[in-house]
Amino acid sequence: MPKTVKNPKNNKSRSRGAPIQVAESIGSGSAKIKKKIRDIERLIKKNPNLPADKKIEYDRALKGLKVELQNSQVQNKAKVLAKKYHMVRFFERKKAVRKLKNLRKEFERISQTGIRKDIKKARKQLRHGEIDLAYVILFPKTEKYISLYPSPNDEDQTDPNVIKGLKITEERRREFRKYIEKLMEEGKLPFSIDDALQGKNIRLDNDKTQKAVLTEEIDAPEQKQDEQQEEQDDFFE
């Protein structure tokens, strides 16, 4: 049986390492990205004497894939949390819109009285209403949503762990409200309050850029009967 003659060019190619193909893994999901990372790590381990240029190429590919994996995992988490808290956020936004409309009417009425003290108080309440509405819209999709209008808690209020948890929740709520207030003061809110009041659906490209995309109507949960919506809405009163 004739012996197989090894091609020296193929040996040289393998010793230098194969070209890295990472484009196909971008946006392909966590599982495929993880597999690609394992493949590259395995290749590096099996070829400790890779040329410097190939080692740099593989290291860069690994770093890029790990960033892509992190982004993919964040997106997956955001999808899960968005689905979980969609109903709560929807009805809290409805309530915030209703409250803000009432506050605007009240501010207009009090402004006509000319009483500075009352006008100042009404203006402050109006700003709080605007912050509430922006809070519901902008609260990060990658976090467990912290309600503006929480229902009574059935947990043991004397339990140290419960007390600690409630304190952390309240601090985060206060912290994010201050962040919203700062955005409004600096004119950096990525949408107008009027757009939100008109019921336009405001989607953010991501939580970092906070770039808003407007559509005509607010997202609604899948409910067919108006009575069911009103019943859920009243839950937050």
Compute the average pLDDT of residues 220-226: 46
**pLDDT for 8:** 46
Contacts of 21 (CB under 8 A, 6+ apart): none
More confident residue, 207 or 99: 99
**pLDDT for 43:** 84
End-to-end distance of the chain based on CA atoms, in angstroms? 88
Give the length of the chain. Answer: 237
What is the rounded distance in angstroms from the CA atom of residue 105 to the CA atom of residue 32? 55
Question: Is 70 exceeded by the pLDDT of residue 210?
Answer: no
Nearest residue to 141 (alpha-carbon basis) of 192, 79, 201, 215: 79
Nearest residue to 122 (alpha-carbon basis) of 99, 104, 134: 104
- Report CA-CA distances (Å) from 90 to 178, 198, 233: 22, 14, 9
Confidence class of residue 73 from pLDDT cuts 50, 70 and 90? confident
- Tell me the two tokens of residue 231: 């019943």
The answer to whether the CB of 151 falls within 8 A of the CB of 235 is yes
Nearest residue to 149 (alpha-carbon basis) of 135, 165, 167: 135
**pLDDT for 232:** 45
The answer to whether the CB of 196 falls within 8 A of the CB of 135 is no
What is the rounded distance in angstroms from the CA atom of residue 237 to the CA atom of residue 227? 16
The answer to whether the CB of 147 falls within 8 A of the CB of 88 is yes
What is the rounded distance in angstroms from the CA atom of residue 233 to the CA atom of residue 136? 15
Compute the average pLDDT of residues 12-38: 67
For 29-39, the pLDDT digits (tens) are 788 888 888 88
What is the rounded distance in angstroms from the CA atom of residue 81 to the CA atom of residue 5? 59
* Residue whose entry in the numeric block shows the structure tokens 């964040």: 74
